[in-house]
Chains A and B, each alone.
Chain A
């Protein structure tokens, strides 16, 4: 076994095991942390595919930002495990049906008949000069420039919409205006009065 194979199997096992943990562990904080581990392990797999930009971006965006916010929310929840398990038997048939349907769909789309060296040739190794970032940038800003720009516009619209939906002004809440607070000068608040000293009788 070469070192590459060893790392592939190590990362693959880690990905599968931690992904399974996400849905099996009881504690929701552990579930989020398992998802983090899944992302990190898949980033390792991408590194083996010489996609170092994608691997680092996965860690940076999903692990470094998105999952932090997930964890943030999950830690604030006060979760009652007994209530969570209440409807387990009742929803079991529906859940199993959905799971089987999804598994079938996945098997049809990415089943074993689509893989193997005779169908997909082994990717050739690039030299140390190969830069994944550069290759990706070239493709994104030439061949796929319109889809890329359209996708970014849609994302921006989604962000604006999300903020607009949650931003509501309540009439009775009091707000601070930091600009006014910063703009305050001493003359606005303090007045120096010159007083004659008074003699105590």
Chain B
């Protein structure tokens, strides 16, 4: 009965025109993503409150599970106030730019082998280009609000994002060299091997891995690099004048970007959907009927690794005090960029020398 229904559905899906199919895939991606964003805010509040020895949200629904839904409803029914003197068109379009770029990058993310909306050859470049557009949402929001705090936040954010994008780009060049491809699926497949987790790029590219993730935290304006929002200095930075749904859209974009950075770190350094059990677990483990499927490669490993990075985001926020602005700039320009350039040369040496187990010896 189930198999028949599935068969019928697949036939129906195959008969649809291509744009409709893609639209279906997009809905299938964005809807769970939005749920993830909602529950990431819940997780953030819970994780931080446990780290600070409090309970956190616990009133709405059992253990506060309905808190994000209540927050979303509240924001939806609030009035959107457009400040007098604000540039109305740009004021309204900037949250749209933010969320648009945050979601567009997801088109090339492979969730499992072949499970991707667009299997782009230049996927890595595409992600870098699209995420670099996100800064426009922040800058335009800051300028069009016609508010000092918002403009200050936008300026800080622009300088910070431009600085860390370079370090991030260099880290990605290292991944490109190691994998020999810009296609995100190919990058994951290049990390498969008989050594399992050792084959992942996290070890040979360790400095680039750390720099990528730290730059990612800076790019998304999260603590300890959240000077763009800096609630204790400039109220809320670039989105101080936004209310209701317009504010919520900025929030959604920020969290979607956090998940995106985590997913990319997973794909490029921790082997994406590859199972960490390969290489050392006995082969018989993967033969067990249901459990074997769970232990083998699959989307669940991808999600678990991404969740780990998301936890790190929350962990950082609860642990570190905010960076001073000049130290952020120093870290980006004078520490990260030189390290990445040096490590690119080292990786080039590894590849030429054919360092096992990551690269086969030449010839």
Residues in A whose Cβ lies below 8 Å from that of B129: 56-57, 59-60, 63-64
Interface stretch, picked from B133-141, B239-247, B296-304, B355-363, is B133-141
B121:A29 contact, CB within 8 angstroms: no
B125:A65 contact, CB within 8 angstroms: no
Is A69 interfacial (CB-CB < 8 Å)? yes
A60:B122 contact, CB within 8 angstroms: no
Within 8 A of B (CB), among A14-68: 29, 33, 36, 52-53, 56-57, 59-60, 63-65, 68
- Contact among A52, A64, A76 for B133, CB-based, below 8 A: A64
Q: Is the interface of A mostly helix, strand, loop or mixed?
A: helix
Give B130's nearest chain A residue, CB to CB.
A59
Give A71's nearest chain B residue, CB to CB.
B139
Is A152 interfacial (CB-CB < 8 Å)? no
Residues in A whose Cβ lies below 8 Å from that of B128: 60, 64
A36:B165 contact, CB within 8 angstroms: no
Known: A53-B122, A53-B125, A133-B122. A63 touches B133 (CB 8 A): yes
Interface string of A62-85 (1 = CB under 8 A from B): 011100110110011000000000
Is A5 interfacial (CB-CB < 8 Å)? no
A60:B139 contact, CB within 8 angstroms: no
Is A178 interfacial (CB-CB < 8 Å)? yes
Residues in B whose Cβ lies below 8 Å from that of A71: 136, 139, 143, 158
**Chain B proximity of A64: nearest CB distance (Å):** 3
In angstroms, Cα B132 to Cα A63, docked, is 8
**Chain A proximity of B238: nearest CB distance (Å):** 12
Interface string of A163-187 (1 = CB under 8 A from B): 0000000000000101000000000
A60:B132 contact, CB within 8 angstroms: yes
Is B327 interfacial (CB-CB < 8 Å)? yes
**Chain A proximity of B78: nearest CB distance (Å):** 28
B126:A65 contact, CB within 8 angstroms: no
B139:A52 contact, CB within 8 angstroms: no
Known: A56-B125, A178-B326. A64 touches B132 (CB 8 A): yes
**Chain A proximity of B351: nearest CB distance (Å):** 15
B151:A65 contact, CB within 8 angstroms: no
In angstroms, Cα B154 to Cα A72, docked, is 9
Known: A75-B143, A178-B327, A178-B330. A68 touches B136 (CB 8 A): yes
Give A176's nearest chain B residue, CB to CB.
B326
In angstroms, Cα B129 to Cα A72, docked, is 19
Is B155 interfacial (CB-CB < 8 Å)? yes
Residues in B whose Cβ lies below 8 Å from that of A72: 139, 155, 158-159
Seed contacts A63-B133, A65-B162, A72-B159; 10 additional CB < 8 Å A-B pairs:
A52-B121, A53-B125, A59-B133, A64-B128, A64-B133, A71-B158, A72-B139, A133-B121, A133-B125, A178-B327
Name 16 A/B residue pairs within 8 A (Cβ), A-sorted: A29-B90, A29-B143, A56-B122, A56-B129, A57-B125, A60-B125, A60-B132, A64-B132, A65-B165, A68-B158, A72-B139, A75-B155, A131-B122, A132-B121, A133-B121, A133-B182
